[in-house]
Structure 1
């Protein structure tokens, strides 16, 4: 029995001695594996961006440019491609400018396009997709990914609550149609009775009811994006920070 213990101890000793001489190689393998996981997180977010655009345009059909539709899908699927929009004759390059325009209270044509491209360039900036040499985890920028994680939390809140100068939602996402109809009437300072609610188009046509569930699919997609970035941060040894509802109300895009 003792001989087996001795042999086993000897094998372990040789193994760890060998490992000690190749620690840098082992470390490199771990870093490369982490980088592979981070790449998968980025690719997952790309697929979610495509899904997000499809839902956003369907829910807000008047807020995107059909001429740019295929081009935008192309730059979402391939981060090596670019599409830069103009605003008041100026070419917009920075993702923060896209997002600030998307959430501006003043009237804006094709608001969906500014939002989705702002999201796309924010993700590609954080993951350094233009740097083809990111073969190990150490070559990713923790600060950029931390900003992306916070910005996505801010965006998830803003897309749900932000309104324009006329107190209309900038983007229709979670709302039922009858809620939009009701809010429109309330904004006109009309007195609303229960009978009026029953006569709202969406209720009267039986397309919806007062008990219809809100649409949380947009929030789910953004939460999945946030989770993917969290995975990347954890792979880099960082602790993701949850801003919380009380914080995101007062944050601006970083």
Structure 2
């Protein structure tokens, strides 16, 4: 009787030992799941960027090429890298060049397009989308994604504050129309009075109020992109870092 019990116990141990996954199998399964998480992250970023372009062009209608717009949308939708712009007769192939031009204080024609393509190619290169879907998460470059995370934080800040040589904002995003009007009429260090604000067109005609909320939709979209990159870094076992104000001046 005891021998039968021992035999049964041995059979159960062998059965469950065979069913238990090996440590390597568990690790591979985890890495594959993490790779799928990262893929979902950059697909979400892709959608955010398309929305960002649409909003940016509506808010800055004179700052993009209507002829090139369908081509840029198609480029982002298809996750391709076969469309490059020129600047001063030189073809730009590096995302840094696009972003430097987008935030240049000079008069830039189609500034929106340089920003969008710079953002797109920054994301494309960071996720190395030319390699297609990776089977395991470790195939992604942690350093590149970490740099993307930092640069998106800097871009979000620069989008709000950067101005050209005449003191005009490079991109209209968060500002209400009365704030833009006031910025154009005000000189450096000039005291802003209530009477001056009351005479602004959009205030005087009751189209806007000083109590109106600013437009946070651009900041929300960029924050969502940053969150997606943070999620990718977490899937890779990295701890995302929030930049200090001083670090915001370290562009690219």
Same fold by TM-score, threshold 0.5 exceeded?
Answer: yes
Q: 2:113 maps to what in 1?
A: 113
CA apart distance, 1:25: 2.2
Q: 1:37 maps to what in 2?
A: 37
Q: 1:97 maps to what in 2?
A: 97
Within-5 A mapping of 1:74-153: 74-132=74-132, 134-153=134-153
CA apart distance, 1:23: 2.3
Deviating more after overlay: 38-47 vs 175-184 = 175-184
2: distance between equivalents of 1:212 and 1:246?
30
Q: 1:197 maps to what in 2?
A: 197
CA apart distance, 1:219: 0.7
Cα deviation digits, residues 102-141 of structure 1 (max 9, x gap): 0011110000000000000000111111102511101000
Q: 1:190 to 1:252 in 2, by over 3 A?
A: closer
Q: Are the counterparts in 1 of residues 149 and 230 from structure 2 also a CA contact under 8 Å?
A: yes
Q: How many residues align?
A: 245
Q: 1:212 to 1:133 in 2, by over 3 A?
A: closer
Q: 2:250 maps to what in 1?
A: 251
Cα deviation digits, residues 208-233 of structure 1 (max 9, x gap): 10111111111111000000000000
Q: 1:4 maps to what in 2?
A: none
Q: 1:19 maps to what in 2?
A: 20
Q: Are the counterparts in 2 of residues 60 and 171 from structure 1 also a CA contact under 8 Å?
A: yes
Deviating more after overlay: 33-42 vs 133-142 = 133-142
Q: TM-score, normalised by structure 1?
A: 0.90
1: distance between equivalents of 2:166 and 2:25?
61
Q: Are the counterparts in 2 of residues 74 and 81 from structure 1 also a CA contact under 8 Å?
A: no
1: distance between equivalents of 2:152 and 2:101?
16
Q: Are the counterparts in 1 of residues 39 and 133 from structure 2 also a CA contact under 8 Å?
A: no
1: distance between equivalents of 2:86 and 2:43?
27
Alignment gaps of 5+ in structure 2: 1-7
Q: TM-score, normalised by structure 2?
A: 0.90
CA apart distance, 1:179: 0.7
2: distance between equivalents of 1:128 and 1:67?
28
Q: Are the counterparts in 2 of residues 63 and 110 from structure 1 also a CA contact under 8 Å?
A: yes
Q: 2:52 maps to what in 1?
A: 52
2: distance between equivalents of 1:192 and 1:243?
32
CA apart distance, 1:88: 0.2
CA apart distance, 1:82: 2.7
CA apart distance, 1:245: 2.6
1: distance between equivalents of 2:99 and 2:59?
19
In structure 1, the residue corresponding to 2:29 is in which secondary structure? Answer: helix
CA apart distance, 1:63: 0.4
In structure 1, the residue corresponding to 2:164 is in which secondary structure? Answer: coil
Within-5 A mapping of 1:207-222: 207-222=207-222
In structure 2, the residue corresponding to 1:130 is in which secondary structure? Answer: helix
Q: Are the counterparts in 2 of residues 163 and 169 from structure 1 also a CA contact under 8 Å?
A: yes
Q: 2:178 maps to what in 1?
A: 178
